[in-house]
A and B are shown apart, each in its own frame.
With several copies, the nearest count.
Chain A
Amino acid sequence: MKRKGFFGNWGGAFIPEVLHQTFQELEQEYRKAKDDPAFWQEYSALMSNYSCRPTPLTYAGNLSKHFGGAQIYIKREDLNHTGAHKANNVMGQGLLVKRMGKKRVIAETGAGQHGMATATMAAKFGFACTIYMGEVDVRRQRPNVFWMEKMGATVVPVKDGSRTLKDAINEAFRDWVTNLDDTHYVFGTACGPAPFPEMVSWFQSIIGQEASRQIVELHGKLPARIYACVGGGSNAMGIFQGFMHDAVELVGVEAGGHGIASGLHAARLCGTDSSPGVAQGYKTMFLQNSDGQMLETHSVAAGLDYVGVSPILSDLADKKRVRFESATDKEVIAALDLTMRLEGIIPALESSHAFVQAFKEAPGLSPNDAIIINMSGRGDKDIFTIAHAFDDPSWKEFIIARAEEYKK
């Protein structure tokens, strides 16, 4: 028997009683929207008029030649307004918030992309907006913070716990239980209590819908494999859903950080440091110690640096429908470098994880095969991290010179 909100063993809604009613209403509104074809139409019209959907599926001729195996295609979620797939989910939830008549939205953010997208949506829909962001991430993603504030959002740096994504989520929940009457919590990924995993995946499925049509147009047949990075799992779910019932291998790539053996990573479905758990309102594989306390995670990519993972992906891992791999920080920087040089495309650090695994496997496939890499976002936002990772001397000089001006 399928339990409501569960995917196999995973999911559910482990929420404080005060939120019970709010979730009932959200669930209802979501079901109504899902059953209403006009809603999806409104959603996809919004995404094509305000963002630029359908996003292209770019053929990466130079990378394909370089690796001499599969034909490599890149799904360009970076071309969305605000620069990542996060916009899809957020605009969809924005429409729901309007339907529910709420006036304020809150969100957590790691890489800042989801915060940017939410602040943007709030400006567009005229909602008040508060964004919770781990203090570590505020530091990693300062430009995004600046833009969120300019868009009228209040950004609250979260100083508890590991001061990253999970702590921002806890803090957002604390806000929500306090202000639930007028506030909607725009969850940023396919995690959290039901109906979020399913609902976020639904909005993101627009990626896979487009990609499955586009690859057949361009390549003449379905791809052999699809690669997506996995933070919470929303971009992966988004593209995977277009190919779930086809003979297409789906590969999720987690943050390998300094290496799986180092303990400094965020590999929940392909590592050995995770175990089943219940936190942040849902049941999934968590990086936790034997007492059930969550571990610190690490990734060069703020958006992958998370202890949990979509319960839907945990289920697909159980069912072996999705294969999970990991990419180390070092591999990520190398793949990013190659992609910039050969294709003139700058993937976000998060997205670059998917590129790493695709590059490892492309040479072993036939030139008749296509693979798709889901490029979840663009790397501009990561300039502070990337310039740092490349140890760029003129960047450093520039920052030092700017600082001198500001000190005057």
Chain B
Amino acid sequence: MQLEQILKNRRQEKEILLMTHIVLGYPSFEVNRQVIRQMVENGVDCIEMQIPFSEPMADGPVILKANQESIAAGTTIADCLEFGAEMADTYDIPFLFMTYYNIIFKYGEEKFLQQTQDAGLKGLIIPDLPPEMGEDFFRLAEEYRIAPILIFAPTSTDERMAELNHWAKGFIYCVARRGVTGRKSEFGDDFGTYLARCRKATDLPLAVGFGIQDRADVQALKGKTDMAVIGSRTIRLVEEEGPEAVGGFIAGLR
């Protein structure tokens, strides 16, 4: 089954889905394993695994540091693909890779997609690859049935959203606000208007991310979006309280 359908099916059963994020190899693959296990056991619906890049231009300080430490510890792309395969094989939820375009470009687009498919992953988030920069890549992704997740931003016009929707598969990642990952977002009136515009622009499920911190944030999104994305918050949690703290945190969000 493809990503869009998996999420739509899950959405039938839950008021709101949860997607979480980890940085591969940070602090270690072993901790990644423990964290993912707790996430899955506590009902997470989808997990994006970030392959670290030395220049994570769209990420804030927490994820930036995680990227750099993972690389410094020796994480390779091959390690990440292998680990992704292990997770997809172990758990019955959709897994995605998130990374910057250079990682894929340098690895070889087709080879990367082939191995992603072989690993059993469902999609890819590449924040620095707008569709007009990657027409060939988007076509290849379709061939390999890897959903290219596209991003709507509050600054996207209606026309732009329509164009993005044309290329997108799986779901649309709506960033809640301007800025990079990690800072808290406000879900006020402007946000409502923005989300309504997103909804109108696509039939794909909508995920909202950037700065979602706690139960209150998730509650506030219920009924407005299909999926909430928890990013840097769990990385900080692991840093501060260890991997064991993740399960309880996830369980308490919905």
Please tell me if the beta carbons of B175 and A15 are within 8 angstroms of each other in the complex: no
| Cα of A14 to Cα of B130 in the assembled complex, Å | 7
Please tell me if the beta carbons of B55 and A291 are within 8 angstroms of each other in the complex: no
What mask results when residues 105 to 139 of chain B are scored 1 for a CB within 8 Å of chain A, else 0?
11100000000000000000001111001000000
Please, which residues of chain A bring their CB within 8 A of the CB of B107? 291-292
Please tell me if the beta carbons of B55 and A17 are within 8 angstroms of each other in the complex: no
Please, which residues of chain B bring their CB within 8 A of the CB of A18? 151, 153-155, 175, 178-179
Stretch at the interface among B29-37, B40-48, B96-104, B224-232: B96-104
Please tell me if the beta carbons of A279 and B133 are within 8 angstroms of each other in the complex: no
Instruction: Indicate the member of A17, A174, A179, A293 with the most B CB atoms within 10 Å.
Output: A17
Please, which residues of chain B bring their CB within 8 A of the CB of A280? 55, 57
Return the chain A residue nearest B100 by Cβ: A279
Give min CB distance, A102 to chain B, whole Å: 14
A-side binding surface: helix, strand, loop or mixed?
Answer: mixed
Please tell me if the beta carbons of A16 and B106 are within 8 angstroms of each other in the complex: no
Return the chain A residue nearest B129 by Cβ: A14
Please tell me if the beta carbons of A179 and B60 are within 8 angstroms of each other in the complex: no
Give min CB distance, B225 to chain A, whole Å: 17
Q: Among the listed A15, A166, A286, which residue makes an inter-chain contact with B128, where contact means beta carbons less than 8 Å apart?
A: A15
A388 interface residue (CB < 8 Å to B) = no
Residues 118-170 (chain A) with a chain B CB within 8 angstroms: 160-161, 166, 170
B150 interface residue (CB < 8 Å to A) = yes
Please tell me if the beta carbons of B153 and A20 are within 8 angstroms of each other in the complex: yes
Return the chain B residue nearest A286 by Cβ: B102
Please tell me if the beta carbons of A174 and B105 are within 8 angstroms of each other in the complex: no
Q: Among the listed B103, B152, B157, which residue makes an inter-chain contact with A292, where contact means beta carbons less than 8 Å apart?
A: B103
What mask results when residues 6 to 27 of chain B are scored 1 for a CB within 8 Å of chain A, else 0?
0000000000000000000000
Instruction: Indicate the member of A12, A16, A161 with the most B CB atoms within 10 Å.
Output: A16
| Cα of A14 to Cα of B129 in the assembled complex, Å | 5
A28 interface residue (CB < 8 Å to B) = no
Instruction: Indicate the member of B53, B61, B65, B180 with the most A CB atoms within 10 Å.
Output: B180
Q: Among the listed A16, A21, A22, A277, which residue makes an inter-chain contact with B127, where contact means beta carbons less than 8 Å apart?
A: A16
Please tell me if the beta carbons of A173 and B130 are within 8 angstroms of each other in the complex: no
Please, which residues of chain B bring their CB within 8 A of the CB of A281? 57, 128
What mask results when residues 9 to 33 of chain A are scored 1 for a CB within 8 Å of chain B, else 0?
0001111111111100000000000
- The count of A-to-B residue pairs whose CB atoms sit within 8 angstroms is 113
A275 interface residue (CB < 8 Å to B) = yes
Q: Among the listed B64, B77, B106, B127, which residue makes an inter-chain contact with A288, where contact means beta carbons less than 8 Å apart?
A: B106
Please tell me if the beta carbons of B130 and A20 are within 8 angstroms of each other in the complex: yes
Q: Among the listed B56, B127, B151, B164, which residue makes an inter-chain contact with A170, where contact means beta carbons less than 8 Å apart?
A: B56
| Cα of A161 to Cα of B128 in the assembled complex, Å | 19
| Cα of A173 to Cα of B101 in the assembled complex, Å | 16
What mask results when residues 152 to 165 of chain B are scored 1 for a CB within 8 Å of chain A, else 0?
11111100100010
B58 interface residue (CB < 8 Å to A) = yes
| Cα of A324 to Cα of B103 in the assembled complex, Å | 27
Residues 64-106 (chain B) with a chain A CB within 8 angstroms: 64-65, 68, 71, 76-77, 100-103, 105-106
Please tell me if the beta carbons of A174 and B128 are within 8 angstroms of each other in the complex: no
**With A18-B154, A161-B55, A292-B107 in contact, do A177 and B178 touch (Cβ < 8 Å)?**
yes
Please tell me if the beta carbons of B133 and A174 are within 8 angstroms of each other in the complex: no
A62 interface residue (CB < 8 Å to B) = no
Residues 143-191 (chain B) with a chain A CB within 8 angstroms: 150-157, 160, 164, 175, 178-180
Could you name 29 residue pairs across A and B whose Cβ atoms are closer than 8 Å?
A: A13-B130, A16-B128, A16-B151, A17-B127, A17-B152, A17-B156, A17-B164, A18-B151, A19-B155, A20-B130, A20-B156, A21-B157, A160-B64, A160-B68, A161-B54, A170-B56, A174-B180, A178-B179, A180-B155, A180-B178, A275-B106, A277-B106, A278-B128, A279-B102, A280-B55, A291-B106, A292-B102, A292-B107, A293-B71
Q: Which 10 A/B pairs are nearest by Cβ-Cβ distance?
A: A292-B106, A18-B153, A178-B179, A17-B151, A293-B54, A294-B54, A16-B58, A21-B155, A292-B102, A14-B128
Q: Which residues of A contact B (CB under 8 A)?
A: 12-22, 160-161, 166, 170, 173-174, 177-181, 275-281, 286, 288, 290-294
